[in-house]
Structure 1
Amino acid sequence: MKAVRIHKFGSKDALKLETVPIPEVGESEVLVRVNAAGINPVDTYIREGSFAVLPTLPAILGKEAAGVVEKVGDGVQGLKEGDRVFTCLPDNGGYAEYVTCKKNYVFPLSERLSFSQGAGLYVPYFTAYRALVIKCRIKPGEVLLIHGASGAVGIAALQLAKACGVSVVGTAGTLEGMELVKSLGADFVFNHKEKGYLNNAVAAIGGQGFNVVLENLANINLGADLTVLNQQARVAVRIPVVGSRGSVEVNPRSLMLTESTIIGVKLMGNTEEEHLEAAGVILKGIEDGWVKPIIAREYALEEASQAHHDIIHNKGARGKLVFKV
């Protein structure tokens, strides 16, 4: 099979398209023929060798994929050859024509979604669920600020929040991104490149401040976030990948005045029970129609280097990047 592997940690040039054996399916595992694989910023950090948990080399990157069940191992029930599925790959492996995955990390993919959309479910939607529901305990009637709402996680958080009865203020850095966020149901949208946008956002919601903030670039925004909080607010910071790319100076007095909390969020922090809880909500959301991943661009595996460049350096995210396999 074709697969994109790294033999050493380094630049995007470390990504090599190679022919490797199809993996053997083990007990309680499923072999999936991949139709699409998600591309995430975390993949670039792993490739560089700067992520907290690194794979043994050589390694096939990729945290999520969607496709068709090719074979099931002993002990697998509820799945059969030919089933459409999406996979959660905490141990990587998605940048390939085939991938094996533990049974409890394989879920049915509704005909409502394409394979490319299925490849954009795990990292964005499970992360959004962990941040907003598990960690921040968001409640109906609250007001959420999403910094970077036009990216894949931002879109997932927006859709989840609206389904939970939460008002949403989203930010984006381009007109196209702002239009996308508005079209997905945000109550208000602001350009985070414009001076005074946070004050305008607070004014738009009546001046009381935000109950919850999902922060996707904490090293830039966290200090200002703490000045626009309501009482008992929660700020979810996605770390250590996109949510924070460096240090930041904050004034602790802002937290004292509102008795607010800053919460770090990592997808790997999910327990097995939390993982299944999130999966249940997302699967129901697909059937109810509110889980709708937006695909910004599809790449061939041969374009892996370009995809890694784009996901970090392109300005104005507008959804999910995926490989079409």
Structure 2
Amino acid sequence: MQAIVVSAFGGPDALVEQRIPVPEPHEGEVRVRLCAAGVNPVETYLRAGQYAQLPELPYVPGNDGAGIVDACGANLPSGAPHVGERVFVAAARARRCTGTYAEFVVCDASAVAPLPDAVPFEQGAGLGTPGLAAADALFVRARVRPGETVLVHGASGGVGTLAVQLAHRIGAVVYGTAGDVRGRQLVERLGARRAFDHHAEGYLDEILAATQGRGVDVVIDMAAQANLMKDAKVAATRGRIVVVGSRGSFDFDPRALMKADLDVRGMGVNNLRPDELDLAMHALSAALEGGMQVIVARSFPLEEAADAHRAVAERGKDGKIVLVMPGSCA
């Protein structure tokens, strides 16, 4: 099969297309013939060797994809997908994943879920890691309830667009921020009551005004190094702030939390317990059945994985970068 292999850590050109054997599923695993694979920022850090836990070299990158199950190992759990079923792959928490930048991937059956016929494979490929992150932030860490007010700070990206839709679909009142008009229009179309320009002076006051001065119950933050003090200003008393992403450190005044009894909660999908992973996967599957959209910003052929990694590093894109496998997946 064709696959992208990293044999030495480095820049995007470390992603080299090679022909390697098709992997075989072990007990409790399935093999998926992939039609598309999702590209995530964490994969650029791993490829560069700039991450706390690095894979052994050589390796095939990727945890997210979509395609058709073509083989199953023994002793699959109840409800596991069957051969011929359309599925999405969310293998960030899998015991084993052979890498989705390839024509075939093998992973735990629990990391695979049905993909509705109406959802294109490219959208399904963009669901895994950002979908788990959005569901983890909302339902595991923040425990969002219907009727609560949620601000998604940085709502037009891969995690943000899914968080907006998931929160809206359970009956939360959702607000979002985005840096350009196109992004704000997208966020509102996906279910946010209003989207604010996080580059504009005074936008925090606008958020407070939209909530009649009360603030929001939950903030989901994609860039805590820039926003955490701002989150504290717009959070309601005893509000919860969930840090999904941060690109550095900063000065922070703990009194901002003390003033309103605020909770700051970190999260990482690698920390999901099995029951929490099941919750997240069920939430994503149900939302897909209900018409949730995965926004794809741009698609690249598998052999252009290096360009896909360069695109992931660009600012200002709305949605996911995906790789499309050679051949047809009609």
Query: Which of residues 162, 173, 179 in structure 2 aligns to 1:173?
Result: 179
Deviation at 1:183, TM superposition (A): 1.0
Deviation at 1:79, TM superposition (A): 3.3
- Aligned pairs for 1:107-146 (under 5 A) are 107-146=113-152
Instruction: Find the aligned partners of 2:146 and 2:82 in 1 and give their Cα distance.
Output: 39
The equivalent residue for 2:328 is none
Query: Alignment partner of 1:250: what SS?
Result: coil
Query: Which of residues 112, 115, 118 in structure 2 aligns to 1:106?
Result: 112
* Corresponding position: 1:230 with 2:231: no
CA RMSD for the aligned pairs?
1.3
The equivalent residue for 2:6 is 6
Contact preservation (8 Å) 2:91, 2:112 = no
Deviation at 1:134, TM superposition (A): 0.7
The equivalent residue for 1:270 is 272
The equivalent residue for 1:95 is 101
Contact preservation (8 Å) 2:156, 2:183 = yes
The equivalent residue for 1:81 is 83
* Counterpart code for 2:289: E
Deviation at 1:193, TM superposition (A): 1.3
TM-score with structure 1 setting the length: 0.95
> Which is further off, 257-266 or 23-32?
23-32
Deviation at 1:182, TM superposition (A): 1.2
* Counterpart code for 1:8: A
Consecutive aligned runs of 4 or more in structure 1 exceeding 4 Å deviation: none
Instruction: Find the aligned partners of 1:57 and 1:49 in 2 and give their Cα distance.
Output: 11
The equivalent residue for 1:298 is 299
Contact preservation (8 Å) 1:255, 1:261 = yes
- Aligned pairs for 1:129-208 (under 5 A) are 129-208=135-214
The equivalent residue for 2:67 is 67
TM-score with structure 2 setting the length: 0.93
Instruction: Find the aligned partners of 1:107 and 1:62 in 2 and give their Cα distance.
Output: 17
* Unaligned stretches of 5+ residues in structure 1: none
* Counterpart code for 1:88: A
Write the deviation string for residues 239-296 of structure 1: whole angstroms up to 9, x where unpaired.
xxxx11100111111101100011101011111111111111221222222x221111
Query: Alignment partner of 1:139: what SS?
Result: coil
Quote the sequence identity (%): 41
Instruction: Find the aligned partners of 2:184 and 2:205 in 1 and give their Cα distance.
Output: 17
* Counterpart code for 1:300: P
> Which is further off, 79-88 or 213-222?
79-88
* Unaligned stretches of 5+ residues in structure 2: 326-330
- Aligned pairs for 1:278-297 (under 5 A) are 278-289=280-291, 291-297=292-298
Contact preservation (8 Å) 1:172, 1:316 = no
